[in-house]
Amino acid sequence: MKPRSVESSQNDAEAVFMQLFLTAEGRANPYPLYHRLRETQPVHRTQLGLWLLSRYDDCWAALRDPRLGKDYAQQIEQRFGPDWRRHPSLTAGEHSMLNTTGPEHTRLRKLVAKSFTPRMIEKLEPVIERTVDQLLDPVADAGGGNLLDAVGFPLPVTIIGEMLGVPETDRPQFRGLVRDLVATIEMQPTAEQMTAADAAQLSIRAYFLELIARKRRQPDDALLSNLANAEVGGDRLSDDELVTLATLLFAAGFETTTNLFGNGLLGLLRQPEQLELLRRDPCLGASLARAEIGITFRTLLRRFDRIELRGDEPRFQDRLTLRGLTAIDVACRAASSPRARVGAAAASLAVESPAATATTEHAERGLRPQAGDADADLRWRAEPRERIESEPARHDSLPVHTGERLAATVGLLLRNRLFERCTQKELEQLAATA
């Protein structure tokens, strides 16, 4: 017979497991339960036969142990029963790169790896910057709003759509479809959720089959087209494999990023000292998701000097695996910074023409031309300098350290990344001696 302390720990850990995975209350606030599990029995085998690890080092070691692997069919049968293949939402994942091992996984990685490069992410950064600023304009005008709807969803769906080559008008439908589909990842999806997930999978499959056929007929430089035409040693991805990969990328490309944005922002707003730390040192970003979040948070902190929660306490969706908010409503106050005054000064100095209007818009947003176009970058920085230096005589009586000329010169300095982290006072001192 086991010692009472061990038996007691196992019983306690099992109770925590049941509460965590099988109750809405446990999913609503899982963190105290995680902590209790680590204290009680950090390595626990449940009565369902599942091993539960709750310490970081244990999870890290397990994920990298070659003795452990994936047996998707067995795991899904254990969760959903022997007739699991009647669900399209489950069979679709059987040959996903996420769920395969050994030679099958290696083959998929080789075919996909050629299209995923750091250069691809770098090319998307100007698109991310432009999109974030455009999405925040209505928030700034309204003094706040639901940032999950305003930014958290449309930003990643725009970026993953651009990357894959999904037309803009087709993208909004994926919010509901992906949300229905990923319910299968949760511990105990209901019969209604499984029905919705199956319908979503069939809709997504039909859409991507048609889009892939179009990409094969008319190739472009987007990722899906590159994957459809990629070849390694005479081997190519089948249409089924392309559909599975596109679905995975779309789901991973915005569902997780939307949750990361909402959860991360809520964490920062609840811990103001971390928010201020990020204001002083915004250096996030490597992968696509982190690049999106890094640029978004930096832009939020640049454009608003006050961001606070308002209204009801934010609520989480009833999920544990893909944990995310239903909304995050905030009040925002626009920052009083040199960058915010650049647009007005540039407008007063510019000639009224379509080209000048476009330039003013770039000055307001501080956007650079697309990475890699050196000539355009030089022109982008030279244009405001030429306007300042060729300003009509009626402005010559104004010293550069006052009024419009100061703001315009500060705007010129802001177009050089060398000065991005200067304070307003430092920028004005530099502008006065420029």
Any idea what the CATH number is for the domain that residue 271 is in? 1.10.630.10
Same domain, 258 and 362: no
67-124 pLDDT, tens digit each: 887 888 988 998 899 999 999 999 998 888 888 888 888 888 888 877 777 677 777 7
Asked if residue 91 is part of any domain, the answer here is: no
List of long-range contacts for 138-147, beta carbons under 8 Å, 24+ apart = 139/332, 140/303, 140/304, 140/332, 140/334, 143/331, 143/332, 143/333, 144/310, 144/329, 144/330, 144/331, 144/332, 145/329, 145/330, 146/327, 146/328, 146/329, 147/261, 147/262, 147/265, 147/328, 147/329, 147/330
48-79 pLDDT, tens digit each: 888 999 999 999 999 888 888 788 898 899 88
Same domain, 277 and 181: yes
Question: What's the pLDDT at 421?
Answer: 66
CA distances from 118 to 157, 225, 373 (A): 20, 18, 17
Same domain, 311 and 361: no
Asked if residue 272 is part of any domain, the answer here is: yes
* Domain C-terminal end among 302, 334, 366: 334
Do the beta carbons of residue 157 and residue 171 sit within 8 Å?
yes
- Burial string for 170-188 (b: 16+ CB within 10 Å, else e) reads ebeebeebbbbbbbbebee
Q: What is the spatial distance between Cα 286 and Cα 294, in angstroms, rounded to a whole number? A: 9
| CA angle, 192 then 195 then 198, to 5° | 150
Asked if residue 76 is part of any domain, the answer here is: no
Question: What's the pLDDT at 57?
Answer: 94
Asked if residue 104 is part of any domain, the answer here is: no
Q: Which residues constitute the domain of residue 32?
A: 4-68
Same domain, 269 and 366: no
Same domain, 61 and 198: no
* Domain C-terminal end among 312, 334, 356: 334
The total number of structural domains that make up the chain: 3
What's the per-residue H, E or C state across the chain?
Answer: CCCHHHHHHHHHHHHHHHHHHHCHHHHHCCHHHHHHHHHHCCEEECCCCCEEECCHHHHHHHHCCCCCCCCHHHHHHHHHCCCHHHCHHHHCCCCCCCCCCHHHHHHHHHHHHCCCCHHHHHHHHHHHHHHHHHHHHHHHHHCEEEHHHHHHCHHHHHHHHHHHCCCHHHCCCHHHHHHHHHHHHCCCCCHHHHHHHHHHHHHHHHHHHHHHHHHHHCCCCCHHHHHHHCCECCECCCHHHHHHHHHHHHHHHHHHHHHHHHHHHHHHHHCHHHHHHHHHCCCCCCCHHHHHHHHHHHHHHHHEEEEEECCCCCCECCCCCCCCECCCEEEEEECCCHHHHHHHHHHHHCCCCHHHHHHHHHHHHCCCCCCCCHHHHHHHHHHHHHHHHCCCHHHCCCCCCCHHHHHHHHHHHHCCHHHCCCCHHHHHHHHHCC
Same domain, 166 and 227: yes
Same domain, 299 and 263: yes
Question: What's the pLDDT at 273?
Answer: 87
Render each residue's pLDDT in the chain as its tens digit; 434 residues. Answer: 455 577 888 899 999 999 988 888 888 889 999 999 999 999 999 988 889 999 999 999 998 888 887 888 988 998 899 999 999 999 998 888 888 888 888 888 888 877 777 677 777 788 888 999 999 999 999 999 999 999 998 998 888 888 889 999 999 888 889 889 988 888 788 999 999 999 999 999 999 999 999 998 999 888 899 888 877 778 888 889 899 988 888 877 777 888 889 999 999 899 888 888 877 765 744 467 777 888 888 889 889 988 999 988 898 888 887 788 889 999 998 886 444 444 433 333 333 333 333 333 343 344 555 555 556 666 666 666 555 555 544 444 444 445 566 777 777 777 666 676 677 767 777 777 65
* Domain C-terminal end among 305, 334, 363: 334
Question: What's the pLDDT at 36?
Answer: 94
Asked if residue 95 is part of any domain, the answer here is: no
Asked if residue 94 is part of any domain, the answer here is: no
Same domain, 189 and 256: yes
Asked if residue 297 is part of any domain, the answer here is: yes
Question: What's the pLDDT at 336?
Answer: 66
Same domain, 181 and 211: yes
Question: What's the pLDDT at 175?
Answer: 85
Same domain, 329 and 417: no
CA distances from 149 to 144, 265, 327 (A): 12, 13, 7
Same domain, 291 and 269: yes
Asked if residue 77 is part of any domain, the answer here is: no
Same domain, 62 and 163: no
Q: What is the spatial distance between Cα 370 and Cα 379, in angstroms, rounded to a whole number? A: 13
